Structure 1
Amino acid sequence: MYLSRVEVDSRNRQKIKDLTHLGAYHNWVEQSFPKEIAQKERHRHLWRLDNLGGKQYLLVLSEEKPDIQKLVTYGVTGTAMIKTYDSFLDKIQTGQIMQFRLTANPSRKISRPGQKQGRVVPHITVDQQRNWLIERAAASGFELVQQEIVDEPEAPVSRAFDIVARDWPVLHHKKEHSVRLSRVTFEGLLRVTDVEAFKTTLTQGLGREKAFGMGLMTVIPER
């Protein structure tokens, strides 16, 4: 597998004028794999947008190596990086503590009498969104690690993770129909409890709307 990153050329308004909704970013990601398009064999590509140090980055996890020229279509020239991911996955061990970042779409399915299929609705409040991650940790191969976070010098708070961003980006569907998706970014510490389940989480994503920039978790081992 490959983990790729490119800085979005946010200062060039003309260059990124098409990036007005999540579907446009999805198309950018898909077009970065021209061999798959030619062979009509599409694979799932996890991706997300990160805002770090005043810059925005597109991060992509894929089975195949993307075309670096296509990857930089809306990016800053010279910032695209592609790294193999398998060697990192092979080094993951049970009990290992890691910093994590996850952008996801916390949601749940509700059903009403007489309905064959439930309706998916987003979690709205911070508590709902935090509980969504807590409830999925064990089955996803990890446990959340409590750490002391000093919000105020005299009032330290012990939390396993923080929600560092919440928004409602637009997705344009066909026939001029638009919806807004709940997008939440979590950061914190975790401990690996089940290596294989955790690898599945990292490579297949967590939650819904994976095609539209949700579900990708990245980790950095604590030293």
Structure 2
Amino acid sequence: MIYLSQLILNPASRMVQNELHNPYQMHRTLMRGFNGRRETANVLYRLDVHPYSGMLALLVQSTEEPDWQPLTQTGQGKYLLAPPTCKAIDPPLQNGQILQFRLVANPSVKREGKRHALYKEEEQRRWLETKGIGCPEKKRPPLGFRVLEMDVQKPRKRYSTKGKLKMIIYTVQYDGRLQITDVTKFQKALQKGIGPAKAFGCGLLSIAPG
């Protein structure tokens, strides 16, 4: 079972304005709905900005039901513009099924203990394709899907802080179609997310009938 919540953020809120420039702080705010249990609740989130209205819609996915009571004050200057919504879903999935998908991710590789962003579109495409089918030579297990087609948006540079540590996170939005090759592994990828930087708004895989 997966829980999907939508929070409409108030752009007039000073707290929201600060978090738009510090996604890790947004992550900390969201954890109020789970008493800090990100690992057990498998909390993933993505901020979608409406291209015309500029509405800030925060999509939050978890395997535990959230309690958004700490964030439910709405109105002028408050964190939310409207009461949050939450629904439990259990999408019927099977091998061979074709789905549309959206993923905001941090395509990167680790070298000598440090993570390095992938800047070239070809590398970003290969990163996601490899996530799906795996790479035995590098001991990277498959996540149970094959990418059929994808559009890759230009990377965005995001700044954030974690304690005294200042970080730069490069994010890429993928939109396309995929085919499930191993439904058990794919379901785990849905719940756990894809790639690093999950506390910074990356990794949430959204799917729809293809």
| TM-score scaled by length of structure 1 | 0.78
Task: Name stretches of at least 5 consecutive residues in structure 1 with no aligned partner.
Answer: 112-117, 146-159
Which of the numbers 152, 156, 175 marks the counterpart of 1:163?
152
Q: Relative to structure 1, is the Cα distance of residues 142 and 41 closer, same or farther in structure 2, using a 3 angstrom cutoff?
A: closer
Cα separation, 2, equivalents of 1:94 and 1:43: 26
Partner deviation per Cα, 1:133-189 (whole Å, 9 max, x = no partner)? 1111121111112xxxxxxxxxxxxxx1001352111111223x3111111110001
Aligned partners of 2:105 and 2:14: how far apart in 1?
Answer: 29
After superposition, the CA RMSD in angstroms is 2.1
The 5 A counterparts of 1:56-135 are 56-72=56-72, 74-78=79-83, 80-85=84-89, 87-88=90-91, 91-111=92-112, 118-135=113-130
- The number of equivalent residue pairs is 193
How far does residue 17 in structure 1 lie from its aligned partner after superposition?
3.5
Unpaired segments of 5 or more residues in structure 2? Answer: 74-78, 134-141
Structure-2 change in CA distance of 1:206 and 1:198 (3 Å): same
2 CA distance for matches of 1:42 and 1:141?
22
Offset of residue 42 of structure 1: 5.7
Give the deviation of 1:16 after TM superposition.
Answer: 2.1
Q: Map Cα deviations across residues 57-115 of structure 1 (whole Å, 9 max, x no partner).
A: 1111112211233355622213x210102x22xx111111111000111010123xxxx
CA deviation profile, 1:190-216 (whole Å, cap 9, x unmatched): 111110011011000111111221111
State the partner residue of 2:16: 16
Q: Which runs of 4+ in 1 moved over 4 A?
A: none
Q: 1:81 is matched by which residue type in structure 2?
A: T
**Which whole-Å CA distance do the structure 2 matches of 1:41 and 1:134 have between them?**
26
Q: Is the 8 A contact 1:144 1:190 kept in 2?
A: yes
Match of 1:44 among 42, 46, 57: 42
Partners of 1:206 and 1:44 in 2: CA distance: 12
- State TM-score, norm by structure 2: 0.83
2-side partners of 1:13 and 1:31: how far apart? Answer: 18
Question: Structure 2 counterpart of 1:51, which letter?
Answer: V
Q: Say if 1:198 and 1:27 are closer, same or farther in 2 by CA, change over 3 A.
A: same
* 3-state DSSP of counterpart to 1:168: strand
Letter of the 1:169 counterpart: R
Q: Is the 8 A contact 2:44 2:193 kept in 1?
A: yes
Distance 1:191 1:44 in 2: 23
The verdict on how the C-alpha distance between 1:163 and 1:64 changes in structure 2, with shifts beyond 3 A counting, is same
Cα 1:75–1:164 change in 2 (3 A) is farther
Separation in 1 of the partners of 2:24 and 2:174? Answer: 22
Structure 2 counterpart of 1:202, from 190, 193, 207:
190
**Which amino acid in structure 2 is aligned with residue 45 of structure 1?**
V
Q: AA paired with 2:200?
A: F
